[in-house]
Structure 1
């Protein structure tokens, strides 16, 4: 899909971002993704991301828009050898979503610089879906239905995106907030306690409270929620000194100097993640971003009402 020069330019940027954080970058794993999911670069979103914490050291992920002419990204990934068919429900979920006739604005793929293809996202921000409706999809993990009472208890209802991880066989539900429906810090604390995740710090709760989206990761193998993330809006000139978490020097260097293909101020996003092993910060640096990218509009809405 990419012209060779476009692919080489993006590969070099991924390689440079990986170098900044001391991560490995495998051309053997990255190049097939670029040639499979290339497209019109002027309309594409490309973002690099890393997690804080020693256990996440040496890893860089990148996410990019899948061209709209690829109607079924999973089938395309299969045909190009990025993933193999296993008969597991994870391979049917995207088809279930498409069968509903929802207005899917775009798809993304999320990949590792060293391990290759991981995920496909279906993004439907203009056609938000109730989580109870998603629970009824044939291939959806039973864990979604099992947690409907918890979602309802904490006002989690409208879903804007689903991420499907084909390697780990998990899904992520991305709940949409308005400035008026963002959960309060004490509500977040209670929710994390109910889920069984580690006790959060006060500063991280306050930071997460500003979220415009939250994502919950679940699997087919357990009814428990595996992890939770809250993302305040992306924006220009975000300052790591305002983030209430220790940020290693190499991640600060990444956040401030990672390659980008646009002029003006740098676009970043910092998200809080709670896993059974603790709380972490995901640091995202946008390599390319379009004004048509829906979170850009949401960013402005949330900032106006902050």
Structure 2
């Protein structure tokens, strides 16, 4: 209907449907969509000139910096504006045009961080964010295998998009590499992946975690994550969630929090090259309504939800329960411009439905 209104049409027509499909479908999934259109004998080529290739958001960058600083004040974390601006300048069009969220944790204040991130599937990165980070001096290329692994991932998998994290105190911290959801098998033969990642093959297979969609590379702490996006609505049982935690040698959380984990939209695992164990495991849960978040579990969660600044009328959040060998903590993340949760959900759904 929106496309129809834009061309001032009287009723929705084939052109509106085709243009809308191309504008909302991530680039990585368009070949599948095109094959479907061809099977229906749809002459989509004649409509392509009407497709708008552009960013989906229009963020106020200066306001974003102020809000980032405000959240650091709320969470008692140091804010380094110079380091932040250096990263913003390197990826300026993405921080302005892409979905953005801001996250913190309930770790003790001396170990707490605040990170702002963008994610983009539609608009190309040229060069890729890792190359930009090296060229702009945002990360130092040393002999750590994390540098070889991110290159190996970009060469091995069909890519869907990227994301970049800014740590409020240090600058660029993470680069996210989104792949078209597919089999986890290639990970186990990767040359530069941590051995600990390969060690848990049987664990992943046992729990039917065989299709994943995302790598995260943390250049600050030299770790890497893999993410499993889960089909919705969630089907996990309480006992399943407890087993996922206990089999890694971690202690489960209280029952209320573990029940929240049954609603997770993703699972993520953290690995290092210095250990043969999974360093951290986290359930990620979406909340379209702030009242759904168990903010009574920690006072910082309530403070963050109540006082977070946003560039949107939407008040959606992601929260998580993270387990490591020191115990557990909670994550809380805002949907800063009201686009992140829907954006990730759209990409996840398209990928999981494509993956067989």
Confirm or deny a common fold (TM above 0.5).
yes
| Rg larger for | 2
Equivalent pair of 1:44/1:288 in contact (CA under 8 Å): no
> Counterpart of 1:88?
144
After superposition, the Cα gap between the structure-2 partners of 1:78 and 1:160, relative to the gap in structure 1 and judged at 3 Å, is same
1:1-306 map, 5 Å: 6-40=60-94, 43-55=97-109, 59-65=113-119, 68-102=124-158, 104-124=159-179, 127-179=180-232, 182-233=235-286, 235-239=287-291, 242-243=293-294, 246-248=297-299, 250-263=300-313, 265-290=314-339, 293-295=343-345
CA distance in 1 between counterparts of 2:205 and 2:337 reads: 36
CA distance in 2 between counterparts of 1:12 and 1:31 reads: 11
- Residues 1-24 of structure 1, C-alpha deviation per residue, up to 9 Å, x if partnerless? xxxx95433211211111122221
Shift, 1:58, TM fit: 5.2
After superposition, the Cα gap between the structure-2 partners of 1:96 and 1:28, relative to the gap in structure 1 and judged at 3 Å, is same
Considering only aligned residues, what root-mean-square deviation do their CA atoms show, in Å?
Answer: 2.4
CA distance in 2 between counterparts of 1:106 and 1:95 reads: 14
Shift, 1:179, TM fit: 3.5
Equivalent pair of 2:68/2:116 in contact (CA under 8 Å): yes
- Residues 106-159 of structure 1, C-alpha deviation per residue, up to 9 Å, x if partnerless? 2111221112211100113xx212222122222211111111011111221111
Name whichever of 286-295 and 171-180 sits farther off: 286-295
After superposition, the Cα gap between the structure-2 partners of 1:297 and 1:168, relative to the gap in structure 1 and judged at 3 Å, is closer
TM-score, normalised to structure 2, is 0.74
Residue ranges of structure 2 left out of the alignment (5+ in a row)? 1-58, 350-356
The count of aligned residue pairs is 288
- Residues 20-52 of structure 1, C-alpha deviation per residue, up to 9 Å, x if partnerless? 222210112211111112215564121111112
TM-score, normalised to structure 1, is 0.85
CA distance in 2 between counterparts of 1:149 and 1:53 reads: 31
> Counterpart of 2:23?
none
CA distance in 2 between counterparts of 1:276 and 1:184 reads: 24
CA distance in 1 between counterparts of 2:130 and 2:233 reads: 36
After superposition, the Cα gap between the structure-2 partners of 1:180 and 1:153, relative to the gap in structure 1 and judged at 3 Å, is farther
After superposition, the Cα gap between the structure-2 partners of 1:224 and 1:209, relative to the gap in structure 1 and judged at 3 Å, is same
Higher relative contact order (CA 8 A, sep 6+): 1
